[in-house]
C-alpha cells in the first residue's frame, strides 16, 4: 500500500521534471536558428519558403507544435543531428557506454577509498594520518576538477609517460552493441586517469561526511549498549555503527548525481574521452540544436531514474523505514 503511494508520488515528480525539460527542449528547437535555413539553404524564394513552412507545420499554433514535438519525443524521435546527419538520439546513445564506464570506474575508486578513509579518520581521530587526510580534503575541495585533470594529463601522461591520457583506447563491441573498454588492457589503462580525476571531487566531501556520521554513531546509546553486551569491537564498529552512516551517505550521493554528470563534461573535455559530455560541448560549438536537445533530455531521464533508485535504496537500508509520500 505504502509502496504504491510512494511510486505514484515519485512518478508524478518525475513527470514534472520531464515536463519542464520537454518545454525547454521544445522552445530551443523553435528559437535556435531557423530550421528552414538548415534544410534548404539561402537560394529558395520567399513563396517556396512559406509553402515549405506550412508543409512542415511551422505555422501551426504553439500547442499543436508542442504536442507534435512531445509525440515524436516519446517515440524516441528527437530530430536529426545537423552535423552527423543521423537521428540525434542514436548519436547520443552511441556515446552512452563511454560515459557510463567512466562513471563506473570513478564510483569504484571513490567507494573503495572514501569508506576506509572516512572510518579510519573517525576511529583514529587524532593520529597524524587522519590529520593529513582531513587537511588534504579541504585542499581537495578547493581544486576545480579541470585542474586535477590537467595535472593528471601533464604528470602521468606527458612528463612520466606512464599512462595514456587521451581517448578511450581499444574497445570490444559486445553482442548487444555496447562498446566496452573493460575487456582490454589498453581500454582499462585509458580509463585510469579520467576515473581518478572524476572520483577526486567527490572524495573529500564523502570522507568528511563518513567521518562525521561515524563519530556521531559511535557516541549513540545503541553502540554503547552493543559494547556493553560484550560484542567484539570489530562487530560494533563495522556492523552497528557503520550501517547507520550509510543513510546520509546515500542521501548526499543522490543529491550529487546532477553534479557528477556536470563533472563528466569537464573530465571528458580534458581527456578527450569520447562520451556524451564531450559530444554535448561539440554540439554547442556547432549549434547542433537537435543534439543539444537530445543530450538535455537523456541527461534528464538519467537524473530522474537514478534519483528514484537512490530513494529505493534509502528505504531498503533504513531500519526505521518510512516511505516519503506515505505520511500518516
Partner 1 sequence: MISFSAFVKRFFSDPVAIGAGVVLLVLVLMAVLAPLIAPQNPYDPLQLDIMDSEMPPSWKPGGDDRFLLGTDAQGRGVLSTIMYGTGISLLIGVGAVIVQAVLGITLGLIAGYKGGWIDSFLMRLADIQLSLSTLMMAIIALALFQAAFDANTYADYAIIMLIMVIGIAEWPKFARTVRSSVLGEKKKEYVDAARVIGLPARRIMWGHILPNTLTPVLVISTIQVAEAIMIEASLSFLGLGMPTDRPSLGSLIRSGFEFIFSGSWWITLYPALVLIALVLSLNLLGDWLRDVLNPKLRRGED
User: Under the rule (CB under 8 A), what is the footprint of partner 1?
Assistant: 17, 24, 28, 31-33, 138-139, 141-147, 150, 153-154, 158, 205, 208-209, 212, 252, 254-259, 261-263, 265-266, 269-270, 280-281, 284-285, 287, 289, 292, 296, 299, 303, 307
Query: What is the rounded distance in angstroms from the CA atom of residue 154 to the CA atom of residue 264?
Result: 19
- Residue with the three cell numbers 504504491: 4
Cα 313 from Cα 303, distance rounded (Å): 15
Of 269, 276, 325, 270, which Cα lies nearest the Cα of 302? 276
Minimum distance from residue 211 beta carbon to partner 1 (Å): 12
d(C-alpha 268, C-alpha 29), whole Å: 26
Q: Where are the alpha helices (DSSP H) in the chain?
A: 2-31, 35-40, 46-56, 62-74, 88-123, 128-141, 145-152, 185-218, 221-228, 233-235, 242-255, 257-271, 276-285, 289-317
Judged by beta carbon, residue 51 or residue 284, the one nearer partner 1 is 284
Nearer Cβ to partner 1 (93/150): 150
Q: What angle do CA 262, 278, 189 make, to 5 degrees?
A: 95
Closest separation between CB of residue 45 and partner 1, Å? 26
Could you tell me the smallest distance in angstroms from the CB atom of residue 226 to partner 1? 26
Closer Cβ to partner 1, 239 or 284, answer by number: 284
Q: Which of 194, 316, 203 is nearest to 252 (CA)?
A: 203
The single residue listed with the C-alpha cell 571531487 is 201
- Pick the closer one to partner 1 by CB: 98 or 293: 293
Shortest CB 173 distance to partner 1, Å: 30
Closest by CA position to 298, among listed 148, 95, 86, 125:
95
Q: How far is the CB of 79 from partner 1 (least distance, A)?
A: 14
Report, in Å, the least distance between residue 262 CB and partner 1: 4
Between 32 and 58, whose beta carbon lies closer to partner 1?
Answer: 32
Which CB sits closer to partner 1, 80 or 289?
A: 289
| Closest CB 80 distance from partner 1, rounded Å | 17
CB of 180 to partner 1, least distance (A): 26
Select 102 or 209, whichever has its Cβ closest to partner 1.
Answer: 209
b or e along 293-326 (b: 16 or more beta carbons within 10 Å of the residue's beta carbon)? bbbbbbbbebbbebbbebbeebeeeeeeeebebe
Q: Which is nearer to partner 1, 93 or 296 (CB)?
A: 296
Please state the closest distance from residue 202 (CB atom) to partner 1, in A.
12
In the complex with partner 1, which residue's Cβ is closer, 73 or 270?
A: 270
| CB atoms near residue 167 (< 10 Å) | 13
Assess contact for 290 and 88: CB atoms under 8 A.
yes
CA distances from 275 to 60, 126, 211, 267, 314 (A): 37, 43, 34, 10, 29
Amino acid at each position: 500500500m505504502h509502496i504504491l503511494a510512494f511510486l505514484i508520488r515519485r512518478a508524478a515528480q518525475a513527470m514534472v521534471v520531464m515536463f519542464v525539460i520537454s518545454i525547454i527542449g521544445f522552445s530551443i528547437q523553435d528559437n535556435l536558428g531557423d530550421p528552414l535555413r538548415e534544410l534548404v539553404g539561402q537560394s529558395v524564394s520567399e513563396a517556396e519558403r512559406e509553402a515549405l513552412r506550412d508543409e512542415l507545420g511551422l505555422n501551426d499554433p504553439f500547442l499543436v507544435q508542442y504536442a507534435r514535438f512531445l509525440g515524436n519525443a516519446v517515440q524516441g524521435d528527437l530530430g536529426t543531428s545537423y552535423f552527423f546527419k543521423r537521428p540525434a538520439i542514436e548519436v547520443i546513445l552511441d556515446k552512452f557506454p563511454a560515459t557510463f564506464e567512466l562513471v563506473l570506474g570513478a564510483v569504484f575508486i571513490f567507494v573503495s577509498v572514501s569508506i576506509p578513509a572516512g572510518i579510519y579518520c573517525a576511529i583514529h581521530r587524532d593520529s597524524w594520518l587522519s590529520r593529513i587526510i582531513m587537511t588534504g580534503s579541504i585542499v581537495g575541495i578547493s581544486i576545480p576538477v579541470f585542474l586535477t585533470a590537467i595535472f593528471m594529463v601533464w604528470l602521468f601522461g606527458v612528463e612520466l609517460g606512464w599512462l595514456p591520457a587521451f581517448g578511450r583506447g581499444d574497445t570490444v563491441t559486445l553482442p548487444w552493441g555496447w562498446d566496452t573498454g573493460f575487456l582490454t588492457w589498453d581500454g582499462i589503462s585509458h580509463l585510469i586517469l579520467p576515473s581518478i580525476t572524476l572520483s577526486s571531487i567527490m572524495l573529500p566531501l564523502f570522507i568528511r561526511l563518513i567521518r562525521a556520521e561515524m563519530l556521531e554513531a559511535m557516541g549513540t546509546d545503541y553502540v554503547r549498549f552493543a559494547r556493553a553486551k560484550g560484542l567484539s569491537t570489530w562487530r560494533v564498529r563495522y556492523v552497528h555503527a557503520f550501517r547507520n552512516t550509510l543513510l546520509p551517505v546515500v542521501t548526499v550521493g543522490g543529491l550529487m548525481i546532477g553534479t557528477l554528470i556536470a563533472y563528466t563534461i569537464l573530465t571528458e573535455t580534458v581527456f578527450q574521452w569520447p562520451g556524451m559530455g564531450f559530444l554535448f560541448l561539440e554540439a554547442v560549438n556547432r549549434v547542433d540544436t537537435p543534439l543539444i536537445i537530445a543530450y538535455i533530455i537523456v541527461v534528464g531521464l538519467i537524473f530522474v531514474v537514478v534519483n528514484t533508485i537512490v530513494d529505493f535504496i534509502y528505504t531498503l537500508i533504513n531500519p526505521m523505514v518510512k516511505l516519503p509520500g506515505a505520511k500518516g
